Amino acid sequence: MSDCLFCKILAQEIPANIIYEDDKIIAFDDIQPQAPHHKLIIPRKHIATLNELTPEDIYLTGHLLYVAQQLAKKLGTADTGYRVVMNCNQDAGQAVYHIHLHLLGGRKLSWPPG
Ligand code: AMP
Ligand code: ZN
């Protein structure tokens, strides 16, 4: 998708601090971190929102979660706690329409979210 910010990061047209990559997924630092650790984990495949997910993407979304777990362990926040979030559409505050898992950790996170 030529007008998608995260596709541009995937194409290396926009810089990002990439902390993990494999053939299906990349992860990078959020540009406006909301916690000491705030990473974004995205599929290479352009999927606009969770609503566009198809059965063929089921393994991919599990892969996103597994990478989140691996990164949380690497960042040292797995035992203390962390949160993964995927916003879907306007009411959830989705700003970039290429699905991404937020990984937040390194501080106490309040609940319920705002
Ligand atoms: P969401 O509101 O769930 O769509 O989250 C989009 C996230 O992308 C926000 O947390 C932004 O701070 C982050 N973001 C926007 N532009 C960039 C960028 N160029 N590099 C890294 N993160 C970004
Ligand atoms: Zn995209």
> Which residue lies with its CA nearest to atom 23 of ligand 1?
31
Assess whether pLDDT exceeds 80 at residue 1.
no
Domains parsed from the chain with CATH numbers: 5-105 (3.30.428.10)
Q: Which pLDDT does position 107 carry in this prediction?
A: 97
Cα 72 to the chain's mean position, in Å?
12
Assess whether pLDDT exceeds 90 at residue 101.
yes
| Average pLDDT of the residues in 81-94 | 98
Q: State what percent of residues in the chain have pLDDT above 70.
A: 100
| Average pLDDT of the residues in 54-74 | 98
Shortest-distance ligand to the CA of residue 3: 2
> Which residue lies with its CA nearest to atom 16 of ligand 1?
31
> What is the residue-wise DSSP string for 59-112?
HHHHHHHHHHHHHHHHHT-TTT-EEEE---SGGGT--SSS--EEEEESSPPPSS
Residue 11 CA to ligand 1 center (angstroms) comes to 16
Q: Would you say 64 and 43 are in contact if contact means Cβ atoms under 8 Å apart?
A: yes
- Residues marked active site are found at 100
Assess whether pLDDT exceeds 90 at residue 81.
yes
Residue pLDDT, tens place only, 7-20: 999 999 999 999 99
Q: Which pLDDT does position 114 carry in this prediction?
A: 82
Q: Which pLDDT does position 99 carry in this prediction?
A: 98
Q: Which pLDDT does position 2 carry in this prediction?
A: 79
